[in-house]
Amino acid sequence: MRKTEFTYNPEVIFEPDFSSDSLEFNGIGIGQNLTELPTEMISEFYDKEDKNEKAEIKNGWILTKNGIQYVLKKGIVKMIRVKENGITKLNGFDKSYVEKLIGKPNKISNDSITWVWDNVVYAKVHHYKKRKTKIHFSTENGKVCELEIE
């Protein structure tokens, strides 16, 4: 199967025949390990096992400078989160435009955090089960602010 590089063509997630299996993120797909990822691309990382070595992370995540976050389990990419730097071509899209392209979501949830006593909702998360994609829309401006792809 031919792979599409998401970083060059993020709009691919809105195509009718979209499949997360057909994507690569910096040349790496879901289900692969990160041996091909150059360490100079890494901006942040978290290791659940506290090894604190970028190349040794088996369970945790690695964020690249271009906004791609690889979520790892046993050294394998289980999910991709695309952060602010990685969605610049999509951050003008709002909920109604996205729904015109791919339809209504299966479910909507909140992406929130509690500060002291206040629960702050940062985004409404639209779950698209068949596409294995969650699209986060900012509560501040209603535009795409993050993606999760499994």
Residue 104, φ and ψ in degrees, nearest 5: -75, 150
Q: Is 49 exposed, middle or buried, given 0-12, 13-18 or 19+ CB atoms closer than 10 A?
A: exposed
Asked, for residue 88, whether it belongs to a domain, the answer is: no
Q: Supply the pLDDT for residue 57.
A: 82
Q: Supply the pLDDT for residue 37.
A: 86
Do 73 and 139 lie in one domain? The reply is no
Q: Is the four-CA dihedral 39, 18, 150, 92 of positive or negative sign?
A: positive
Q: Which residues of the chain have pLDDT under 50?
A: none
Give the model confidence (pLDDT) of 12-47 as tens digits: 999 988 999 999 999 999 999 988 888 899 999 888
Q: Supply the pLDDT for residue 92.
A: 92
Q: Supply the pLDDT for residue 38.
A: 86
Residue 89, φ and ψ in degrees, nearest 5: -80, -15
Do 63 and 121 lie in one domain? The reply is no
Among residues 26, 50, 80, which one ends one of the domains?
80
Give the chain's mean pLDDT: 89
| Cα 65–Cα 31–Cα 105 angle in degrees, nearest 5 | 80
Give the model confidence (pLDDT) of 43-53 as tens digits: 998 888 776 66
Asked, for residue 107, whether it belongs to a domain, the answer is: yes
Structural domain of 14: 4-80
Asked, for residue 86, whether it belongs to a domain, the answer is: no
Do 11 and 51 lie in one domain? The reply is yes
Do 54 and 102 lie in one domain? The reply is no
Contact indicator for 116, 131 with CB cutoff of 8 Å: no
